Copies of this chain bind each other. A is one copy, B any other.
Amino acid sequence: MPTQYSIGLDYGTNSVRCLIVNVANGAEVAAAVWTYAHGTQGVVLARDPNLARQHPADYVKGAEVTIKQALATAKKTVKGFSPAQVIGIGVDTTGSTPLPVDKQGQPLVFQKKFANHPAALAWLWKDHTSVNEAAEITTLARKLRPQYLAKCGGTYSSEWFWSKLLHCLRTAPEVFNAAHAWVELADFVPASLTGTEHPSKFIAGVCAAGHKAMWNAKWGGYPDAQFLSKLNPKLAQLRARLTPRVHTIDRAVGRLTAAWAKRTGLTAGIPVAVGAFDCHLGAVGSGQARLRQHVQKQPVRRRVARGRNLLNTSKLADVPGLCGIVDGSVLPGYFGLEAGQSAVGDLFNWLVNYVQPGGGKAGSHEELTKGALKLQAGESGLLALDWNNGNRTILVDQRLTGLLVGQTLYTTPAEIYRALIEATAFGALTIINRFEEYGVKINQVVNCGGIADKSPLVMQIYADVTGRPMKVSRSAQTCALGSAIAAAVIAGAHKDYATAQKKMTGLKPTVYKPNAKAHATYKELYALYKQLHDAFGTQGGGGNLYRVMKKLIEVRSRMRK
List chain A positions with a Cβ less than 8 A from chain B: 45, 49, 126, 343, 346-347, 349-350, 354-363, 376-383, 388-389, 401-413, 416, 521, 524-525, 528, 531-532, 534-536, 541-545, 548-549, 551-553, 555-556, 558-560
Known: A126-B409, A528-B551. 20 other contacts (CB 8 A): A347-B409, A354-B412, A355-B411, A357-B357, A378-B556, A382-B552, A389-B408, A401-B406, A401-B408, A402-B411, A403-B403, A404-B404, A405-B548, A406-B553, A524-B551, A532-B548, A534-B543, A535-B544, A542-B544, A542-B545
Interface pair B343/A381, CB less than 8 Å apart: no
Task: Check A401–B405 contact: CB distance below 8 A.
Answer: yes
Residues of B within 8 A of A363 (CB): 356, 359
Nearest chain B CB to A41's CB is how many angstroms away? 12
B531 touches A409 (CB 8 A): no
Q: A343 is contacted by which of B355, B359, B389, B409 (Cβ under 8 Å)?
A: B409
Contacts A/B (CB < 8 Å), 14 sampled: A49-B408, A126-B409, A347-B409, A350-B408, A355-B416, A356-B357, A378-B555, A382-B552, A524-B551, A525-B555, A531-B544, A531-B548, A535-B543, A535-B544
Q: How far is the CB of A54 from chain B (nearest CB, A)?
A: 16
Query: Which residue in chain B gives the minimum CB-CB distance to A525?
Result: B555
- B-side contacts of A560, CB under 8 Å: 379
Q: Which B residues lie within 8 Å of A383 (CB)?
A: 548, 552
A560 to B410, CA, bound (A): 14
B559 adjacent to A545 (CB under 8 Å): no
Asked if A407 contacts B381 (CB within 8 A), the reply is no
Residue from A45, A358, A405 whose CB has the most chain B CB atoms within 10 Å? A405
Look across to chain B and name the residue whose beta carbon is closest to the beta carbon of A557. B381
The distance in angstroms between the C-alpha atoms of A357 and B207, with both chains bound, is 41
Point out the residue from B404, B409, B552 that lies within 8 Å of A528, measured CB to CB.
B552
Chain B residues near A358: list those with CB within 8 A: 356
- Find chain B residues with CB under 8 A from A532 CB: 545, 548
Q: Do the beta carbons of B552 and A405 come within 8 Å of each other?
A: yes
Residue contact A402 to B412, C-beta cutoff 8 Å: no
A347 to B532 alpha-carbon distance, docked (Å) = 23
B544 and A356 contacting across the interface, CB-CB below 8 Å:
no
Which of B49, B406, B412, B543 is within 8 Å of A543, CB to CB?
A: B543
Check A407–B404 contact: CB distance below 8 A.
yes
CA distance A236 to B378 in the complex (A): 39
CB within 8 A of A535: which of B349, B362, B535? B535
Contact between B524 and A555, CB atoms less than 8 A apart: yes
Q: Which residues of B contact A410 (CB under 8 A)?
A: 45, 49, 350, 354
With CB as the reference atom, state the residue of chain B lying closest to A401: B406
- With both chains docked as a complex, state the minimum distance between the C-beta of A300 and any C-beta of chain B, in angstroms: 12
B residues less than 8 Å from A360 (CB atoms): 356, 359-361
* Residues on B with beta carbons closer than 8 Å to the beta carbon of A354: 409-413
Inside 8 A of A405's CB, which chain B residues have their CB? 401-404, 536, 548-549, 552
A478 CB to closest chain B CB (Å) equals: 23
Please determine whether B401 and A407 come into contact, CB atoms closer than 8 angstroms.
Answer: yes
Query: A407 to B402, alpha carbons, bound, how many Å?
Result: 4
Q: How far is the CB of A161 from chain B (nearest CB, A)?
A: 22
B389 x A552 contact (CB < 8 A): no
Residue of B nearest to A534 (CB): B543
A556 CB to nearest chain B CB (Å)? 4
Judge whether B378 and A553 touch: CB under 8 Å. no
**Contact partner of A346 among B403, B409, B548, CB < 8 A?**
B409
Q: For residue A361, which residues in chain B have a CB less than 8 angstroms away from its CB?
A: 360
Contacts of A412 in B (CB 8 A): 354-355
Cβ contact of A403, chosen from B376, B380, B404, cutoff 8 A: B404
Give chain B nearest CB distance to A12 CB in angstroms: 15
